[in-house]
Amino acid sequence: MDSKKIQMPREVHIGADVIDNTGSICKDLRFYDDVLVVTGPNTLKIGADKAIESLEDEDFAVDLSKINDATSKTVEKIEDKLNNISLIVGVGGGKVIDVAKMAATNAGIYFVSVPTAASHDGIASPLASIKNNKGSVSMTAQAPIGVIADTNIIRNAPFRLLSAGCADIVSNYTAIKDWQLANRLQNDSYSESAAALSLMTAKLIMKSSKSIKKGLEESARLVVKSLFSSGMAISIAGSSRPASGSEHKFSHALDKIAKKPALHGEQCGVGTIMMMSLHGGDWEVIKNALHDMNAPTNAYELGIDPDDIIEALIMAHKIRPERYTILGDRGLSRDAAKKLAIKTGVI
């Protein structure tokens, strides 16, 4: 049997105000050289400023880069700024984390993940979703050496971001069904332990759907821990298969088609409702749980034109065609796509 490599973070810090310990955590991780902090336009004041202050208090020389998207061009721009830098600290949402992770991987240096929102399960995973001229590509990257998730910042982030994180976890249900199908029909390699961890995480978040509340530290902590364990399922599998199937293809297609896409997790949640119906599963349970979590369940709540939903359903199978799912090789016809979206109340 082939050998297997599993990458995990070395230290994970979850709690109120842990961002103020960024400097000492980086010292404990044995870093002492120059550090580049990567952040986004909204997250500089919310998080990056605090991380920089803490790093400077511990005598790190800190450089700063602000980014707006997660494209391969932006990754290259960050790589160009890495002279004498031995560590990148990414402070922000999923796009910031992915760019920082990918640039550090390409440059052969380390990366610390400081999520300011619990909106996606890439906070600790060894993958980065980067857009290039072919669309979104899931790229192998180094797992962060450390994760610093400040639940005070995360609980005060717009509640929509937390709901999106829950929906990204709910999508594990259809991702696992797709993975099992690909294993049966295409002999794709499958990991029982990765699938079990991914499903257990999705079940836990579904069970808690009514108790996840705006502004609560306990809710922020629960979602961060669940995103972390979903990311660990990705680590064990060595690919995003335990957390990304047909519902993610639909979301990636919407990112290409919609004038103003919704949040990644929100789109994946709506995709899960429809893909669960295609799998013959209980899509109403998924829909009700998403509703309880305040996540969108239809085109109107996503702020997306119903015609774009249909187009994305028709295009979805062409995204990452090597990843076999319930959409098969030919995907949905226009009539079937329309029927599915109407039946599930998405349009």
Ligand X SMILES: O=P(O)(O)OC[C@@H](O)CO
Ligand Y SMILES: NC(=O)c1ccc[n+]([C@@H]2O[C@H](COP(=O)([O-])OP(=O)(O)OC[C@H]3O[C@@H](n4cnc5c(N)ncnc54)[C@H](O)[C@@H]3O)[C@@H](O)[C@H]2O)c1
**Choosing among ligand Y, Zn ion, ligand X, none, which partner's interface includes residue 316 (Cβ < 5 to 8 Å by kind)?**
none
Residue 118 annotated as binding site: yes
Residue type, 272: T
* Nearest to 299, CA basis, from 329, 334, 269: 269
Handedness of CA 285, 286, 291, 297 (dihedral sign): negative
Report if residue 155 touches ligand Y, rule: CB under 6 A. no
Report if residue 191 touches ligand Y, rule: CB under 6 A. no
Report if residue 215 touches ligand Y, rule: CB under 6 A. no
Q: Which residues contact 107 (CB under 8 A, 6 or more apart)?
A: 79, 82, 85
CB 95 within 8 A of CB 70: yes
272 burial type by CB count under 10 A (0-12 exposed, 13-18 middle, 19+ buried): buried
Cα dihedral 102→103→105→109 (10° resolution): -150
Report if residue 245 touches ligand Y, rule: CB under 6 A. no
Q: Which residue is nearest to ligand Y (CB)?
A: 94
SS3 state at 38: strand
Stretch 107-146: interaction string toward ligand X, x if CB under 6 A: --------------xx------x------x-x--------
Least distance CB 209 / ligand X (angstroms) = 18
User: Judged by CB under 6 A, which stretch of 58-66, 243-251, 254-262, 338-346 contacts ligand X?
Assistant: 243-251
Annotated binding site: 94-98, 116-119, 121, 125, 127, 168, 248, 252, 264
Annotated binding site for substrate: 121, 168, 252
Binding site for ligand Y (CB under 6 A): 40, 42-43, 46, 70, 92-96, 98, 116-117, 119-122, 125, 127-129, 136, 153, 157-158, 161, 164, 168, 234, 240, 263-265
